[in-house]
Structure 1
């Protein structure tokens, strides 16, 4: 079968690899759509320390059941459409014992610590597949990245009346915008791209602020009655946005980091104490987050606006170079298999 491999830094190519067969408890999924994630782009650029090369990328996957192994429930019949939950959990580590399996110490995400789904077929345990026939086929691959943003809103305990700043309106940030609005927050979207903040306004943001403006903090204070945000969700992953999140949070506010910085971050830590902030990390997503996103998307009529560019599988080797060159103007690159 055909698959895209990232072979070395800056080099991706279509290759023929063996087609998997479903083992007991597994489903062979015919891959229909795969979204490219920032982790895939970092792998391509040689910036992902979790990946060894060559690697088949891709963990944002929508497809359909092609074949089932023994022991798979009858609901997973050939032709049924599925959303892939691309994480693993060991069941033994401290995170798993606390029920937070999304943060499993031994997690192996598709396309990162193991081969991904940017191929014609992938075989997975049926428990990792969500059956869905309410969304358009191409929208199934959007559920996972939006779920990561929804999970950040859950980590921030966003509730009705909370003023929420989301720093960065890429795909994860867009999910955080939608998630925070879904849970009742009044969302302020912050990004340097006017196109992305304009789109954020259609996905639940009440206000948009240009992150490159000189008076960002003053604008945020003006929009939050001079207090600062109850919740700040950082979805960029730069040292300056990590520290900005602390500055924009109100006293007794909450800060959630869903981006992660590739360089060390220096803080004036007195604000942690003076503001008595809750500072939280956010990783992956839970089944509840996936379910919430599916319900959200079922009532959206502008979902296609999230998809910037679609490549057919036979041109998939062009997708990562395209995104690397056009990242500032690109929200989601998708491969149609």
Structure 2
């Protein structure tokens, strides 16, 4: 099979690799949709905490089950699924937490796109049954990889107050930020403000129902400081936490979603004096992933506008190489079909 490999020398290349075989309790999935994430860039740079090359990258994906391992009902063959890309150890403190286990906080969990579990930027991938989420046939199979970033956004929304009838901001209009805008609007927020210095990101968030501003312009937040109920931080831009705290009304909530690379200073006095709350959000639970699949089934027509076809695995090599070099990209969400055919944008069609 063709697969996207990161070498020990931190180069991205398309290789011919042996197709994996499902072990007991697993299935083999022919990947029809794979996403490219910022974590792929950090892994290629060699600075990701656990995705250490050499490896086959990719943790966002879905496709059709084409083979089953021992102990798996043959009825799974042919099912179209999205893949939850994490497997917890089942033994540590978070995994055995009572009354509710927290396997998404397991420090020993295995993630797709690690050396021990080759990733979705390949024609085939294996996964255990617990990681499979059947998807309705109405969803184009080229969009299945959107379920994973949608689950990140679902978890972030659940970590804060219900957005219904609340004034909300999303700082950062990349893939997760745009999906947060969608969920806040769909969840009945009274108003949604989205910020990003990039025109494409602002236009995308505006199409999803947000009022948008460029945070780098003078007076961008005039009249908004101290007025918002919930602020989702989906960027790691310098000073963004101070910006989020300033936007909140007393006892408002910041939900931190963006993955900072190290320690960050912020205005703890402003947080304390108005009894504001700062809440962390990382990955997702099984319930979040199921909710994301349901959201994709309801709203794929709205979300398809986020997607740029990466042109297959060879195109992803160029995209990642540019990203590592710091060259800008006019893309919100890059998806590919690893077999090189166009990303499907209509149900049942492999053609864009």
Q: Quick check: TM above 0.5?
A: yes
Residues 66-118 of structure 1: per-residue CA shift (max 9 Å, x gap): 100121134412x2211000012223333332333222222222114743121
Q: State the Cα RMSD in Å.
A: 2.1
Q: Which residue of 2 aligns with 1:124?
A: 127
Is the contact made by 1:158 and 1:231 (CA closer than 8 Å) also made in structure 2?
no
SS in 2 for 1:302: helix
Change (3 A) 1:8 1:335: farther
The corresponding residue for 1:36 is 36
Equivalent in 96, 100, 103 of residue 101 of structure 1: 103
CA positional deviation for 1:182: 2.6
Tell me if structure 1 keeps the 8 A contact 2:44–2:53.
Answer: no
Alignment correspondent of 2:344: none
Which consecutive residues of structure 1, in runs of 5 or more, have no partner in the other structure?
222-226
| 2-structure distance, mates of 1:102, 1:119 | 25
Q: TM-score, normalised by structure 2?
A: 0.87
* Contact persistence 2:239–2:266 (CA under 8 A): no
Comparing 167-176 and 114-123, the one that deviates more: 114-123
Distance 1:210 1:15 in 2: 41
* TM-superposition CA deviations, 1:161-194 (whole Å, max 9, x none): 1111110011111121122223222211111122
CA contact under 8 A between 1:256 and 1:279: conserved in structure 2? yes
Q: Secondary structure at the match of 2:203?
A: helix
Equivalences for residues 168-183 of structure 1 within 5 A: 168-183=172-187
2:215 and 2:45 map into 1 onto residues whose CA distance is 25
Q: Does 1:151 align with 2:155?
A: yes
Aligned counterparts of 1:119 and 1:158: Cα–Cα separation in 2 = 38
Greater length-normalized contact order (CA 8 Å, ≥ 6 residues apart): 2
Deviations 1:131-175 (A, max 9, x none): 112311011111111221121111112232111111001111112
Answer yes or no: is the 8 Å Cα contact 1:257–1:280 preserved in 2: yes
Provide the TM-score with structure 1 as the length reference: 0.90
Helix, strand or coil for the counterpart of 2:181?
helix
2:304 matched to which residue of 1?
Answer: 304
